[in-house]
Amino acid sequence: MDRKIADCSPTEIVLQVDFSENATILNQDEIQSAHWTHSQATLFTAHAWGADTNEGLVIVSDCLQHTKITVFTCMEEIFTHLKSKHSSVKKICVFSDGAASQFKQRFLFSNLHLWEQQHSIKLEWNFFATSHGKGAVDGIGGTVKRSVWRYVKAGQASVQNAKEYAAIASQRNPGITIKFVSEDAIMKKSEELTKHWEGVFHVPGTHNLHSVRPAGPNQISVAETSSGPFIDAQIREANMDVNYEQSPPEDLLTLAN
């Protein structure tokens, strides 16, 4: 990842993403009541590097399910933010860990071409080795949680839910972009994504993959190292059609349900 950041062109962004440990929602009176069961908030953390950006981002949600649907919704929010702020960006190289339930799996692979078309970018997704530390995104999550906890402990605010948590976190961390995405918004994606993911093939050797690029609506290019060699892998039948409710561009109509 460091090499990618160093070699980043003016039209590229390197993006690291991960789930932070859930934040516990406490008000001042509950700080000392650790034995109580408290509500929580999901923190999906990201850091973007580019020629004109060095930015931390956090998506806060009351949806505590860290699933492929949550990942899809959070990534859409992040891509939309980056493209609106950096309209000249043409390529985003994403880095994450290899968690199979969230990132390194066929459903995320099938999202890559869809995201490319929706956000007018080229994408590449890279996976760290299992032993790799979380780095910048781990620090972002910790910073946000500490800042809110200290503010509440000092009696400066009361936080009752994830939306209020996001508002206080944004107030206390002006250098980090913090957005709230509701559980309802994530669940609304479920039906359309279930249709989108129908017929997606398992990719042999997924566990060993290090880098994935979309190669059209029904194929991906995969490699065991970021430098290649890349080989094409089929992820859908070539004659399957898409049914996605957000009206993607015409060339997405060959995507599978």
253 domain-assigned? no
**Per-residue pLDDT, 245:** 40
In the chain (257 residues long), the average pLDDT of successive 10-residue segments reads 90 97 81 63 98 95 96 98 96 95 95 96 91 77 96 90 97 98 95 90 93 94 88 81 40 30
Q: Would you say residue 241 lies in a domain?
A: no
Q: What is the pLDDT of residue 93?
A: 97
pTM of this prediction? 0.88
**CATH no. for residue 96?**
3.30.420.10
229 within some domain: no
Residue 157 lies in a domain: yes
Residue 199 lies in a domain: no
Report pLDDT for 226.
78
Return the pLDDT at 252: 30
> What pLDDT does 26 receive?
81
The whole-number pLDDT of residue 98 equals: 93
Residue 117 is assigned to a structural domain of this protein:
yes
How far apart, in whole angstroms, are the C-alpha atoms of residue 58 and residue 166? 9
Total count of domains within the chain? 1
Q: Angle 167-173-178 (CA atoms, 0-180°, nearest 5)?
A: 50
Domain membership of residue 245 (yes or no) is: no
The answer as to whether 87 is a domain residue is yes
Domain coverage including residue 76: 2-187
